[in-house]
């Protein structure tokens, strides 16, 4: 039986969540459980999560929680604390995964030198694929740690981000203190910096798809500039509380 617990933090994700959960019903093998942690949605997100709990409960073990505080780090730590699987997989509500997700995760972490993994994220819309942004995000996994943390790069550091569906062993996650709940953004990169002490960070040569809603709102050039600006400033140690102003929520 699979030992992978999938944790999904949500906040006003009514437009994406149903599709995400529906695709999770196709997983073969299935996840041990899917934990949805809502951070105070004001749309139909919770209703959709509970409706799918009733509809898919025969094929998907869904648990739905409401968190007193919102913030992705807080919500994901909450979900991780309720998880019973040996492996944690953190999935954004607007990211869609292949049906062999669980097998790929388990095969990746069967290698004891790998502490954490993630996928290649292909950013897509209803009628478009953001090839330029997607390729840059792929390359950023490698060049960012090489540029800012070269001593850790050669020890296996790669910087994975939430759209890449990050997964790791539950024991390693808590040994590293989980996500830093004080960080409003870049909690994923911070986790990689902590987990590399346990082993290599590995980007699996497989695709997941993520919503392009942010790029659709900003446009390709503006999005690229903002991503580079935030990444560079974070790399040199600028506070994420300052950086958050450039990365507003878009639904």
Structure confidence by residue, pLDDT tens digits, 56-108: 666 788 999 998 777 899 999 999 999 999 999 999 999 999 999 999 999 99
The CATH number of 4-246 is which of 3.90.550.10, 3.40.50.1820, 3.40.1360.10, 2.170.130.10?
3.90.550.10
The partner residues of 121 in beta bridges, in order of sequence, read 208
Per-residue model confidence as pLDDT tens digits over 27-49: 999 999 999 999 999 999 989 88
Q: How far apart are CA 40 and CA 42, in angstroms?
A: 6
Q: How many residues does the chain have?
A: 251
Tell me the helix, strand and coil percentages in the chain, rounded to 5: 45, 20, 35
Q: What is the residue extent of each domain of the chain?
A: 4-246
**Do residues 207 and 119 touch, judged by C-beta distance below 8 A?**
yes
Q: Tell me the pairing of strands 4-10 and 33-38.
A: parallel
pLDDT in tens, 153-203: 999 999 999 999 999 999 999 999 999 999 999 999 999 999 999 999 999
CA 215 to CA 221: how far, in whole Å? 9
User: Could you read off the pLDDT of 232-250 as tens digits, one per residue?
Assistant: 999 999 999 999 998 877 6
């Amino acid at each position: 039986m699979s030992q992978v617990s999938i944790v999904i933090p949500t906040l006003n994700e009514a437009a994406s969540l149903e599709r995400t959960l529906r695709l999770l019903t196709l997983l073969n093998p299935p996840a041990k459980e899917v934990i949805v942690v809502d951070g105070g949605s004001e749309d139909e997100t919770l209703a959709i999560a509970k409706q799918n709990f009733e509809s898919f409960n025969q094929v998907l073990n869904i648990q739905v929680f409401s968190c007193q505080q919102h913030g992705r780090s807080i919500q994901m730590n909450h979900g991780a604390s309720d998880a019973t699987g040996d492996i944690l997989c953190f999935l954004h509500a607007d990211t869609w995964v292949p049906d062999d997700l669980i097998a790929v995760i388990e095969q990746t972490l069967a290698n004891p030198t790998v502490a954490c993994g993630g996928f290649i994220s292909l950013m897509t819309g209803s009628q478009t694929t953001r090839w330029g942004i997607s390729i840059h995000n792929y390359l950023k996994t490698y060049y960012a740690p090489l540029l800012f943390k070269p001593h850790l790069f050669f020890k296996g550091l790669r910087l994975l981000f939430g759209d890449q569906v990050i997964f790791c062993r539950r024991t390693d996650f808590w040994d590293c203190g989980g996500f830093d709940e004080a960080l409003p953004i870049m909690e994923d990169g911070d986790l990689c910096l902590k987990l590399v002490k346990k082993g290599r960070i590995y980007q699996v040569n497989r695709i997941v798809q993520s919503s392009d809603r942010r790029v659709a709102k900003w446009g390709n050039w503006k999005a690229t500039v903002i991503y580079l600006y935030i990444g560079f400033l974070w790399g040199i140690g600028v506070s994420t509380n300052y950086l958050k102003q450039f990365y507003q929520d878009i639904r």
